[in-house]
Structure 1
Amino acid sequence: MPSDRPAPGGATAGEPPGVGPRLYELRRAHGLTLEAAARRVGLSPAHLSRLETARRQPSLPMLLTLARTYGTTVSELLGEAPPEREPVIRAARARDTEADGWVYREAGGSGRAMQALRVRVPAGGAQRDLVRVHPGEELLYVLRGELRLGLGDAEHLLAPEDSAHFDSRTPHRLSAATADGVELLFVHTLLRSGAAELCLGGAGRDGAGHRPVRAPGQGS
């Protein structure tokens, strides 16, 4: 049975330095035994032990699997310093993206734990009947017009400068309550995973990257 403690081992040629110790530290930080972690990533305990002790070089697919399992990135596993992120987002560089009549503009930086968007929602439109459910939290702040927010069994009318902050696992539906639409600041948390980037207008998802569900009584 392989030991849970990494033994000294020399890195093979071309192996990124320090990957083994980082894998060991991440596993321990998650409170996983060697056997439990090996089951999650689909390896034998002996194979994972060889990776942690630098006796085996992980392939890129294995690095991706390990990074997702431990909630990190391949770059962090390899010890690469993340690039400096620009804290200021200039309006002149922002670009609009449209999906089903909704218009989105990035209001925050990428690669963060939160996604911020400025959103224009038209009156009516294809998305008004979509009920959204997704992990995390959501913050809405109305800039112009009025927003109708269905949250669980309740419905709220938000005027300019009103806001709502809620657990986005609660079924919610957004629509404009004014004839010329509504504009709002939309912030939601992102899960750290290989698919954490926002998907604007992606197939099978609504324009804000959520999994849409038709409201009861609505057609598919």
Structure 2
Amino acid sequence: MNQELKQVGMRLRVARQGRGLTLEELAADAGMSASTLSRLESGKRQASLELLLPLTRRLGMSLDDLVFVEQRDPRVRRPVVKKDGMVIAPLAPEGAPVATYKITYPPTTEIPPLRVHEGFEWFYVLCGKVRLFLGDRDITLESGEAAEFDTRTPHAMCAADGRKAEILSIFNEAGIKMHTHNHEPGE
């Protein structure tokens, strides 16, 4: 039996338990015996469309949810970007639905230029302190604090107190371009 089919029983059990159903309840709703369902979940009975279709309907899931194949390496291996003294480490694969980065800000005394782009940004301070310039506000966030804001508001961030700072940041496609690509003045 191939690896994908071995996972069907386990995924079926997790889905059933996640919905708070007993073997007997789900089996009755799907028109089969609890023994048959138990053997499917334990891998002692081979899955067939005839058995799986009524189960997936009752569980509110698709067949793909049961036979999902994880083929790619889960590790993220993308190059770090260095820009304006910052170190920007991608934490999600290229094209992921959520763009996540670890950004290290160097010590600085200069206030970076405010920028504007479409979308929202969220960040969490891992260590150090971060100054967030948001419109006319100057906000200092410490380790363990987070912020979320509309990036159509002029904004900039840098380390505070003359020490480096590290954040986890999540932003949209426009934010990726703004933070990881070099820009000429006026861009």
The two structures have a TM-score, normalised by structure 2, of 0.54
1:151 to 121, 134, 148: 134
RMSD: 2.8
- Name the structure 1 match of 2:147: 164
The answer to whether the 8 A contact 1:89-1:107 is kept is: no
What is the aligned-residue identity percentage?
Answer: 28
Gaps of 5+ in 1: 1-83, 206-210, 213-220
Between the two proteins, the alignment pairs up a number of residues equal to 117
Amino acid at match of 1:104: I
Q: Deviations over 1:6-59 (max 9, x none)?
A: xxxxxxxxxxxxxxxxxxxxxxxxxxxxxxxxxxxxxxxxxxxxxxxxxxxxxx
Which of the two has higher C-alpha Rg?
A: 2
The answer to whether the 8 A contact 1:101-1:125 is kept is: no
The answer to whether the 8 A contact 1:86-1:109 is kept is: no
The answer to whether the 8 A contact 1:135-1:168 is kept is: yes
- Name the structure 2 match of 1:106: 90
- Name the structure 2 match of 1:137: 120
Q: Deviations over 1:75-111 (max 9, x none)?
A: xxxxxxxxx8858334xx3432211101110011221
Q: Deviations over 1:112-141 (max 9, x none)?
A: 343211101112277x32102100010011
Gaps of 5+ in 2: 1-69
Q: Which runs of 4+ in 1 moved over 4 A?
A: 84-87
Quote the Cα distance in structure 1 between the aligned partners of 2:102 and 2:152. Answer: 21
Structure 1 residue 172: deviation in Å?
A: 0.8
Change in 2 beyond 3 A, CA 1:144/1:110? same
- Which structure shows the bigger proportion of residues in helix conformation? 2
